[in-house]
Amino acid sequence: MAQTIDKTDSIASLKVKNNYQIQFKAKQLIIPVALIGYGIIGIGSDQLEAFNFEIREEVKENIDRKLSIDDFSQYAPVASVYALGVLGIKGKNNIRDKTIIVATSYLIMGLTVNSLKKITKVERPDGSGLNSFPSGHTATAFMGAELLYQEYKDVSIWYGISGYVVATGTGVFRMYNNRHWFTDVVAGAGIGILSAKAGYWLYPTINKLLSSKKNTNKKSTFIPYYDGKQVGFGLVTVF
């Protein structure tokens, strides 16, 4: 007896696979909000500020010279999201959807970090400026780590773990180089994780805005940018 295949069901299944997203659940907020909350509370807490100084003194005793590895390692996790795809390892989303999610996450993270820096005006440990809180390098690294985890956790959990190891190392080096306090790094980690999750939560809405029913051949892609002071994105449309 011949078996019939419902093409509609097949197409629907394909769409579900290519449009992977994280469903919002309140419990997903616990860890990032706790990290951000710790950092914010630390700004006005004498006890946590004292803890910041203790950690800095411990680090300073072991510093031989500054290492700028954190300037590069912050981008390693998000770069890996694309690099694994180039190597033929398929993640949850195709490159277009992946880019929309990455760009959305990057925009949320950048705006949040820069807004808090201007509002809080916390002095850096090395006295170089009043923009210590939160750590942008750490936020970028943890955002990439969460994106890497979500995209490839079903292929191998080790991709996500490696991303978080690199992100944690980035935060440690920010303190090692006397550029950030412990509370800056903790808050940056929380912001990065939450921004990545928000990128997935907002994807369906943004995808609808970018899709055009009138022109099915039109494809749009976000291209994010961040120059250390400003964050933004460009929209590239191909007809």
**CB-side neighbour CA atoms (13 Å) of 142:** 28
Give strand ranges (E) for 118-167: none
What percentage of the chain has pLDDT greater than the value 90? 69
Residue matched to tokens 């936020």: 139
Residue matched to tokens 């390692």: 73
Q: Which residues pair with 192 in a beta bridge?
A: none
Q: Say what the pLDDT of residue 59 is.
A: 80
- Cβ neighbours of 221 (radius 10 Å): 18
Q: Which residues pair with 238 in a beta bridge?
A: 219
- Could you give the CA distance from residue 135 to residue 191 in angstroms, rounded to a whole number? 9
Q: Say what the pLDDT of residue 17 is.
A: 45
Instruction: Give one DSSP letter per residue of 53-103, joined into a string.
Output: HHHHHHHHHT-SS--TTHHHHTTHHHHHHHHHHHTT---SS-HHHHHHHHH
CATH code linked to domain 26-214: 1.20.144
- Could you give the CA distance from residue 199 to residue 93 in angstroms, rounded to a whole number? 13
Q: Which residues pair with 235 in a beta bridge?
A: 222
Query: Which residues have a Cβ under 8 Å from the Cβ of 228 and sit 6 or more positions away?
Result: 136
**15: confidence class by pLDDT, cuts 50, 70, 90:** very low
Residue matched to tokens 């500054």: 66
Give 173-217 pLDDT, tens digit per residue: 999 999 999 999 999 999 999 999 999 999 999 999 988 544 555
Q: Say what the pLDDT of residue 68 is.
A: 85
Please say whether the beta carbons of 29 and 194 come within 8 A: yes
Give 114-155 pLDDT, tens digit per residue: 999 999 999 999 999 999 999 999 999 999 999 999 999 999
- Give me the residue spans of the domains in the chain: 26-214
Among 105, 115, 114, smallest CA distance to 206 is for 105
Does the pTM of the predicted model rise above 0.85? no
